[in-house]
Amino acid sequence: MAIPPGRPPRTVAVIGSLNWGPNLEGLRWLLAEVWPRVREALPDLTLHIAGSHPPAWLTGLRAPGVVVHGFVPSAVEFLQQHPVLLVPLLSGGGMRIKIIEAMTLGRCVLTTTVGGEGIEAAAGQEWLVADSPAEWVAALVGIFNAPSALDPVAIGQAAAALAARRYDNVAVIQAFEALYTRLGAGAETADVVAHPQPHVRS
């Protein structure tokens, strides 16, 4: 179900293979260094985490404002429910196809520099890039505080326009769904495309 017109829900999302080391490293960092400070400023904000093969420490997590879904049937439908995708990667190489997919769907992406490797977009306009915990907190507060300093809808629309110009959106969606299904079936692989630009438009 897509986000209805009007004010976006106060939710953010993380999705990816939850048995891939860099994803878990980034998620631990987000939960330990960023999320408690975000919740102090935005106590009604909720973080939704989805992905295949979540470890026991994550499925048993009882943190305020955190919902762990594990594997969800459709990555696209999951992304459509949340206005902001978080990509808190601290290591790992390759292009994150989930970022291109989120952009295609008009989501606002908040990523680290490492997470955004291989993707050219205007920071603050087509996506948000932050590296330190303080920068992440400031970005999320800027999105969800009223009046909002950062408009996730406008950023998502600009991201969708970028994706439409540079990528074959149908192919990206199909590739992301196929990758996500393969991960759910037990494949131990990262949710990245290793270096080449996927279906880049000329």
Q: List the strands of the sheet with 108-111, edge to edge.
A: 66-70, 46-50, 11-15, 84-87, 108-111, 128-129
| Residue 17, in any domain of the structure | yes
Q: Please tell me the predicted confidence (pLDDT) of residue 97.
A: 85
Give me the domain span that covers residue 167: 11-184
Q: Please tell me the predicted confidence (pLDDT) of residue 10.
A: 96
The type of residue at 192 is V
| Residue 45, in any domain of the structure | yes
Q: Please tell me the predicted confidence (pLDDT) of residue 107.
A: 97
> Nearest CA to 189 among 197, 200, 181?
181
Number of domains in the chain: 1
pTM: 0.83
| Residue 192, in any domain of the structure | no
| Residue 193, in any domain of the structure | no
Sign of CA dihedral 178, 161, 131, 138: negative
Per-residue pLDDT of the chain (202 residues; tens, 9 = 90+): 455 555 679 999 999 999 999 999 999 999 999 999 999 999 999 999 999 999 999 999 999 999 999 999 999 999 999 999 999 999 986 668 899 999 999 999 999 999 999 898 999 999 999 999 999 999 999 999 977 789 999 999 999 999 998 876 555 556 556 655 655 555 544 554 433 344 433 2
Under 8 Å between Cβ of 112 and 90: yes
CATH number where 84 lies: 3.40.50.2000
| Residue 21, in any domain of the structure | yes
| Residue 82, in any domain of the structure | yes
| Residue 194, in any domain of the structure | no
Q: Please tell me the predicted confidence (pLDDT) of residue 47.
A: 99
Q: Please tell me the predicted confidence (pLDDT) of residue 191.
A: 57
| Residue 23, in any domain of the structure | yes
